[in-house]
Amino acid sequence: MNLIERISRLISANINHLLDQAEDPELMVKQMIRDMEGSIVELRRETVRGVARVKQIEKQIATSGAQIEEYEKLAKTALKKGEDDQAREILSKKIHTVKVRETLDKELVNAREVADRLKSDLARLEDQVQSARRKKEELIRRKHLAEADLRSQEAARKSTEMIKTSTETASGGAAGESRIADYEDEITRIESIAEAEREMLQQDVQKELDLQKLSEDTAIEEELKRLKGEI
C-alpha cells in the first residue's frame, strides 16, 4: 500500500466504529496513533517536497519571462543595425523559451494542485490523530473507573462473606451483634470510598471535557475574528 492509499485509509477511518469492533480498544487505538504519527512524518516530508517543487517552477517561469523580454530587446537592436539574420536567430531562441514557459505554466498548475492536496491531507490526518489521542485518554479514564468499581465490589463481597461466617460461628448475644455492626460499618466505609472515587473521576472527566470545549470555542472565535477582518 503506497503513502497516498495509506493516508486516505487513515483519514477516512471511523475511529469509534473500529474501536467498537476491537477486542482490546485501548490497544487498538494506541496502534492507530502509532500508524498515524508515522504517516504524518512521511506526509509532512512529501508536503515539503510538493511546496518546494511549486517554488522551483515559479522561479523557472520568472527566469524564462526575463529571458523572453531580453531576447525581444536584442532582436530589436539587431534589426535596427540591419542584422536580420542575427535577429532571426534571437527570435528563434525567444520562441523556444516561450514554449518552455508555457510548459512550465502547466506544470505549475499541477504542482500547486498536488501541494494543496498534500497540505489538506496533512491537516486532516493531524486532526485524526488528535481525535485518536482524545479517544485513548477517554478509554484510559473509563478503564480506571471500571477497575475502581471492581475493587469496591470485591471488597464489599469479602466483607459480606466475613459477616456470614461470623454470623454462623458466633454464639449470639451482644458480642456477635457488635461484630456484625462492625462489619456493616466497614462495608459502608468501603462503599463510601468507592462512591467518592467514582465522583472524583467523573469530575476529572467533566473538567477535561470543559477545558477541551473552552479551547475549541476560543479557537473558533479567533478564526471568526480573522475571517471578519479579511472580509
pLDDT tens for each residue of 27-78? 777 777 788 888 888 889 999 999 999 999 999 999 999 999 999 999 999 9
**Rounded distance between C-alpha atoms, residue 225 and residue 223, angstroms:** 5
- Determine the structural domain holding residue 44 and report its residue range: 3-230
> What is the pLDDT, as a whole number, of residue 34?
83
Decide: helix, strand or coil at residue 132. helix
Contacts of 108 (CB under 8 A, 6+ apart): 54, 57, 58, 61
- Taking only the tens place, the pLDDT of each residue in 140-161 is 777 777 777 777 777 777 766 6
| Of residues 45, 178, 53, the one with CA closest to residue 122 | 45
> What is the pLDDT, as a whole number, of residue 52?
96
DSSP code, position 170? S
CA neighbours closer than 13 Å in the CB half-sphere of residue 162? 15
Number of structural domains, the chain? 1
pLDDT at 201 over 80: no
> What is the pLDDT, as a whole number, of residue 1?
44
- Taking only the tens place, the pLDDT of each residue in 158-200 is 766 665 665 555 445 444 455 555 656 666 676 676 677 677 7
> What is the pLDDT, as a whole number, of residue 85?
92
> What is the pLDDT, as a whole number, of residue 13?
53
Q: 197, exposed or middle or buried, with CB in 10 Å at 0-12, 13-18, 19+?
A: middle
> What is the pLDDT, as a whole number, of residue 90?
92
**Rounded distance between C-alpha atoms, residue 152 and residue 143, angstroms:** 14
Give Cα 31 to chain centroid, integer Å. Answer: 14
Predicted TM-score (pTM) of the model is 0.53
pLDDT at 135 over 60: yes
Look up residue 5 and give its three cell numbers: 492509499
- Taking only the tens place, the pLDDT of each residue in 73-124 is 999 999 998 898 999 999 999 999 999 999 999 999 999 999 999 998 888 8
